[in-house]
Amino acid sequence: MKAYVFPGQGAQYTGMGKDLYDNSPLAKELFEQANEILGFRITDIMFTGTAEELKETKVTQPAVFLHSVILAKTLEDFNPEMVAGHSLGEFSALVANGTLSFEDGLKLVSQRALAMQKACEITPSTMAAVLALADNVVEEVCASIDGVVVAANYNCPGQLVISGEFKAVEAACVAMKEAGAKRALLLPVGGAFHSPMMEPAREELAAAIEATTFSTPTCPVYQNVTASAVSDADEIKKNLIIQLTAPVKWTQSVQQMIADGATLFTEVGPGKVLTGLIGKINKEAVTANA
């Protein structure tokens, strides 16, 4: 079975999507439509902006989404039998399998980015990568720390990202190293994504998601929250609302996709982060980049 996976924030690079814009009339039309929907020329920042400009959350999230979705729409033989996306990438996956329209997907991603930006400004918060420590040990260390700090991204065995209040994450990093982690280092992010710190953003995004039409998908999506196949539009909607404050179960999602018959994983979007993680989750997995 053909599985298509879509990257999240962090995969962006200057010049992303320019080849699509220049070589595909459909891609050009969709990019111009996106400029109108967003109210600014995001293509200018994507194609010729600086890395700093591209790093702004309100730009990054729509930019990665657009690259993934427009690339998928220009692929000749695009017939996914299962899809998944990492964090933000879940929105790209939901356009790819017909749950969301291109326009609605882009509007939600833009609202998500702005809501997350606002939530980040309320309390100093951050994320940190923890390497070479078992998942259960990371969870136990987080639980032992005063303040808010939780496991946020289960990226692959031995690579977890924790998220929470700045001081709690700093204290957790020290404790992780004491517990045997090879590394525990703060990430250059704007705030504590996929943690309780995102509750204000979740509330704001929930209203937008509730007001959006979700259609029955053409194939199941393996959602971050459940790490299992979901085909019911209402359930997809509910899980997408929970996603902002819940962990990204990427390891578990990939394992479940393989158990359900995935034979080829194709990453659609900027970079090769997900194919790298999938190779670490299962060395036998066959991966490709669109």
Give the three-state DSSP class for 194: coil
The span from the CA of 233 to the CA of 236, in Å, is 5
Let me know: does 127 contact 161? Beta carbons within 8 Å.
Answer: yes
Catalytic residue among 68, 87, 125, 163: 87
Catalytic residue among 68, 110, 163, 194: 194
87 annotated active-site: yes
Q: To which residue do tokens 């923890």 refer?
A: 130
The span from the CA of 274 to the CA of 290, in Å, is 12
The span from the CA of 245 to the CA of 148, in Å, is 12
Let me know: does 93 contact 6? Beta carbons within 8 Å.
Answer: yes
200-213: string of b/e by CB count within 10 Å (b at 16+)?
bbbebbbebbeebe
Let me know: does 7 contact 273? Beta carbons within 8 Å.
Answer: yes
Phi and psi dihedrals of 58, rounded to 5? -65, -20
DSSP assigned state of 173: H
The span from the CA of 19 to the CA of 232, in Å, is 36
Q: Which two tokens stand for residue 63?
A: 């930019």
The span from the CA of 248 to the CA of 252, in Å, is 9
Torsion angle of the four alpha carbons 277, 217, 212, 37, in this order, in degrees rounded to the nearest 10 = 70
The span from the CA of 48 to the CA of 222, in Å, is 34
Q: Would you please indicate which residues are annotated as catalytic (active-site) residues?
A: 87, 194
